[in-house]
């Protein structure tokens, strides 16, 4: 088993060794399976065969999927950099975790409710429904995800309106240190830039606008070469878009940003890198076929996905040294 296929510095100890997949389809020692490794948060399982690897992405909503895991490498000059929003470009993760906490408090009818430290890897980086499913299962199993979504969007709409009118949390959306200089450096290098988020448009777009306003960088639609979000939520009386069952750690957001948004083919994937601070995002980039630079400050270490990163950096200055 060559674990370094998952990431150039990956070690078997970076993952959890398991005897069979969660769905029971594959087991170690049977049907050509040599070993099975799971990420630390148990969200993605890698099934090793003699000549290929499959990734099994689990789903709290009941729609898991298998993906082939292809080889990766970084070739210069880069053609594109794909960047996560929450936690990487903008420091907003704590705000959205707070919204999840408010939602759970409403479900429990307990305004004093607080999430535990152990909950953090499961309430960031994935889709809204995945986060809410986790909280419902742990704290209020008599409730439904649909009830949770109703509360979530009520809290989101209210808090976003408060922020837009200058009454909300002042620390909600803060540009990551060094992001402006980093983005301008990429532009100077002629590298295409794609912004990728599992966040729904109605929560992601105000973040992006707020950050660009703070940075005095104008209209983000004019700056980025492509922006992809999880779309619009499906709720009664409105048409939604695909996004709740196919976000990170599935590969589709990053794959669509690069192939459709930037026009870069799979054959050019070695000239593309993705930057992520969450375990779900790291898996998403890796399954989309790109090399990942892990960014400090998120839950990569806690989620057990650092082995999937080609590099791990704490600052944008460090990242520039890698990609130049």
Coil, strand or helix at 145: helix
Rounded to a whole number of angstroms, the CA Rg of the chain reads: 19
Residue 191 and residue 81 in contact, taking contact as beta carbons nearer than 8 Å: yes
The backbone region for 123, taken as left when phi is positive above 0, alpha when psi lies in -120 to 50, beta otherwise, is: alpha
Give the domain 80-91+174-323 fold: Rossmann fold (3.40.50)
Structure letter (DSSP) for residue 261: I
pTM of the model: 0.86
Residues 6+ apart with CB under 8 A from 141: none
Query: Shortest CA distance to 299 belongs to which of 95, 69, 39?
Result: 39
Distance CA 15, CA 294 (A): 16
pLDDT of residue 160: 86
Phi, psi of 10, deg, nearest 5: -70, 140
pLDDT of residue 163: 80
Helix pair 93-108, 128-139: axis angle to 10 deg:
40
Residue 228 and residue 197 in contact, taking contact as beta carbons nearer than 8 Å: yes
Query: Shortest CA distance to 257 belongs to which of 244, 275, 280?
Result: 275
Across the chain, which has 324 residues, the per-10-residue mean pLDDT values are: 90 95 97 96 96 94 94 96 95 91 97 94 84 96 95 91 78 91 97 93 86 92 95 80 88 97 97 96 97 95 95 97 94
Residues 6+ apart with CB under 8 A from 229: 197, 198, 199, 200, 201, 204, 205, 243
Structure letter (DSSP) for residue 258: I
**Is the bond into 77 cis (omega within 30 degrees of 0)?**
yes
């Amino acid at each position: 088993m060559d674990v370094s296929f998952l990431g150039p510095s990956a070690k078997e100890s970076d993952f959890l060794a398991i005897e069979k997949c969660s769905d029971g389809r594959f087991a170690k020692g049977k049907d050509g399976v040599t070993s099975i490794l799971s990420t630390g948060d148990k969200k993605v399982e890698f099934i090793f065969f003699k000549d290929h690897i499959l990734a099994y992405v689990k789903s709290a909503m009941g729609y898991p999927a298998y993906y082939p895991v292809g080889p990766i490498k970084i070739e210069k000059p880069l053609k594109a950099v794909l960047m996560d929003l929450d936690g990487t470009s903008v420091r907003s993760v704590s705000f959205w975790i707070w919204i999840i906490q408010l939602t759970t408090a409403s479900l429990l009818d307990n305004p004093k409710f607080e999430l535990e430290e152990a909950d953090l890897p499961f309430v960031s980086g994935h889709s809204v429904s995945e986060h809410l499913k986790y909280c419902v299962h742990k704290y209020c199993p008599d409730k439904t995800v649909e009830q949770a979504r109703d509360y979530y969007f009520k809290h989101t709409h209210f808090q976003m309106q408060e922020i837009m009118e200058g009454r909300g949390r002042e620390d909600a959306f803060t540009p990551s240190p060094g992001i402006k200089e980093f983005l301008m450096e990429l532009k100077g290098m002629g590298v295409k830039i794609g912004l990728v988020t599992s966040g729904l448009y109605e929560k992601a777009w105000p973040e992006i606008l707020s950050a660009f306003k703070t940075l005095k960088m104008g209209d983000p639609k004019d700056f980025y070469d492509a922006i992809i979000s999880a779309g619009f939520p499906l709720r009664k009386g409105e048409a939604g878009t695909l996004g709740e069952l196919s976000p990170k750690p599935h590969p589709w957001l990053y794959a669509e940003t690069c192939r459709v948004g930037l026009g870069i083919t799979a054959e050019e994937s070695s000239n593309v890198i993705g930057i992520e601070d969450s375990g779900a995002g790291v898996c998403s980039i890796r399954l989309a076929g790109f090399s990942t630079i892990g960014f400090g400050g998120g839950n990569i270490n806690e989620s057990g996905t650092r082995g999937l990163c080609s590099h791990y950096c704490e600052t944008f200055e460090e990242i520039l040294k890698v990609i130049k």
